Structure 1
Amino acid sequence: MIVEPIRIEGLAALNRSLKRLDAEAPKGLRLAHNEAANIVVDEARRRIPSVSGRARASVKARSTRTASRVSAGSKRAPYVPWLDYGGEGRVAGRPGKREFRKGGRYVYPAFHDKRDEFTRVLERSLSGAVAAAGLEMS
């Protein structure tokens, strides 16, 4: 159930143009992507089972100026990819095999379910970032 990514035409060119206007202006693009990514983060955290809370806490927005990104897993919770996708549990002291799911159990399904809201928030946030730089978006 891997969904097609959302592509925004001209985003890289917008980033370059904002950078020419003001060195600080492109940071608004990253913040806009993070705002949209946090919708997926919140939904994925709600779905992840919790024993210690480390797996839930490891789901974070890690966006750039040209891409919205959600990461799951950390040094404190290295088992999150296994928890989400399944496979062989090769770390000592962890449960063994878990059924593999190509589309995952938590992050991608959260994106799939919240895609429309994600798109609306991303569009609104990007428009706001462009307006803050003193430009109009068409």
Structure 2
Amino acid sequence: MTGAIKVDGLSQFVANLKSMDRELPKALRVAFNGAAEIVVKDARHRVPSKTGKARASVKAKSTQTAVRISGGGNRAPYYPWLDFGGRVGRNRSVRRTFQKDGRYIYDAYYRNINRFGEVLEQALLDVAAQAGVEVD
């Protein structure tokens, strides 16, 4: 289902950045969010909209070592049904065909995986350069 991009040595990279300057790892979170915006924009564009709440709920969430894209929440609790399908409503009478990989976020990720990887790589190189580390 997921085709996660894993960066070998990322936790050591973060630890080394912290040892140089406590503020540098914070730049990684910003860099990850920048890369995730590629997928977020594509997914948001495809989410159906009556009120716009489901569309607006698609967001990037990142830490210094990971980035995630999520949809739904308190303002759009029906988002998982929109994306993955299933049955809801009285006596589970409203049916939407189930799709294991979803319709919006994973689809946007798979369509943009190469560009996402390139932007992520460039962001990591930029943070390394900002720290004064030469990467080849």
TM-score scaled by length of structure 2: 0.93
* Structure 2 residue matching 1:62: 3-state secondary structure: strand
User: Larger % of strand: which?
Assistant: 2
CA RMSD of aligned residues (A): 1.6
Structure 1 unpaired stretches of 5+:
none
The percentage of counterpart residues that share the same residue type is 49
Amino acid paired to 1:14: F
* Structure 2 residue matching 1:88: 3-state secondary structure: strand
Amino acid paired to 1:102: K
| Partner Cα separation in structure 1 for residue 115 and residue 93 of structure 2 | 36
1:117 to 115, 128, 131: 115
User: Larger % of helix: which?
Assistant: 2
Per-residue CA distance 1:91-117 (angstroms, 9 max, x = gap): x6x972211110000000000000111
Amino acid paired to 1:70: I
Deviation for aligned residue 1:137? 2.2
CA contact (8 A) 1:54 1:76 kept: yes
2:102 match: 104
Segments of 4+ in structure 1 off by > 6 A? Answer: none
Per-residue CA distance 1:49-80 (angstroms, 9 max, x = gap): 11111011000010111112101112111110
TM-score scaled by length of structure 1: 0.92
2:75 match: 76
Structure 2 unpaired stretches of 5+:
none
1:25 match: 24
CA contact (8 A) 1:3 1:112 kept: no
Amino acid paired to 1:107: I
2:39 match: 40
1:133 match: 131
Aligned length: 135
| Partner Cα separation in structure 2 for residue 81 and residue 137 of structure 1 | 41
Amino acid paired to 2:7: I
Deviation for aligned residue 1:3? 4.0
Per-residue CA distance 1:1-54 (angstroms, 9 max, x = gap): x34211111001101111111111101111111111110000000110111110
